[in-house]
Amino acid sequence: MAGDWLKMTHALPEKPEVLEIAGRTSLSRFDVVGRLFILWRWFDTNTVDGNARGVTKVTLNACLFGDGDVTNFVSAVIDARWLTASDDGISVVKFDSHISESAKTRGQTAKRVAKSKANTSNAKGNGAGVTKTVPREEKRREEESPSLRSGEDAGKPATRKRREDTSLKTYLETCKQAGVRPLPADHPIRDYCTDAHITDEMLQLAWIVFKDRFTTGKDKSKRQKDWPAHFANSVRGRWANLWHTTEKGETCWTSAGLQERAVAEARMKLHTGDSA
């Protein structure tokens, strides 16, 4: 095997060839990219120069994608000019530029060079106006050292402001005054929901139920240092049992979720003055 990875450009899903293959096979462009990976991996594993001698497009298609594959994916790739077929077999176009060991080495080298140039450019651009970064441990010692402080604070140990426990109601009022969202847009729980196929509607309903519980419900007296983290735990743990995941990986409403969604919709209609 030439290597344990393949060189694939990040723009591959939008390339005209991918769109052409998708049109010929009725596959999505993401399915096309996945099949291309399987195809190129086969050539990387089973050939040394990208030439599969004695292999026909029919046998290769059957080997990789099954006899019942009516899309004839290999033929579509040939039509897109990323493979060539002849009496001798099937070959990858520009194998040495994309899949071979030398191509991988060039790709890694180019990446290292680009990163080195970027670091050099940043260093030159920031050197005149930015002081040298102080290591964390050194900075901590400086903050704690009495000799580096003056006046009344010189003999006192440095103290770090700690986040206080607050109720959810107080936290929401603080966010409102500061003009910030209670759950930051870049909070990791949003990426978690995307990976778990938890929809925005489900996340929003989970927040409504969570807010009711900790502002007017049985846990209104609870206090936390980090309410967004506490809410994230409730989502991961499905405290309100609003959804469940099927064996196929699909996330669907539970009966409890449907009930809470109906309540939320009724409240929204009442708030807007729209009655049934």
CA distance 270 to 229: 31
| Residuewise pLDDT in 10s, the chain (276 residues) | 444 667 777 888 899 999 999 988 888 999 999 999 998 888 888 887 888 898 888 888 888 887 555 558 899 999 999 999 888 899 988 776 656 554 455 455 555 666 666 666 665 555 554 444 445 555 555 454 444 344 454 455 555 556 789 999 999 999 989 888 899 888 999 999 998 889 999 999 999 999 999 999 889 999 998 999 999 999 999 999 999 988 888 899 999 999 999 998 888 877 654 433
CA distance 254 to 275: 26
Contact 129, 135 (CB under 8 A): no
Structure tokens at 38: 């399987």
Please state whether the predicted TM-score (pTM) of the whole model is above 0.75.
Answer: no
Contact 263, 211 (CB under 8 A): no
CA angle 24, 28, 31 (to 5 degrees): 105
CA distance 275 to 267: 10
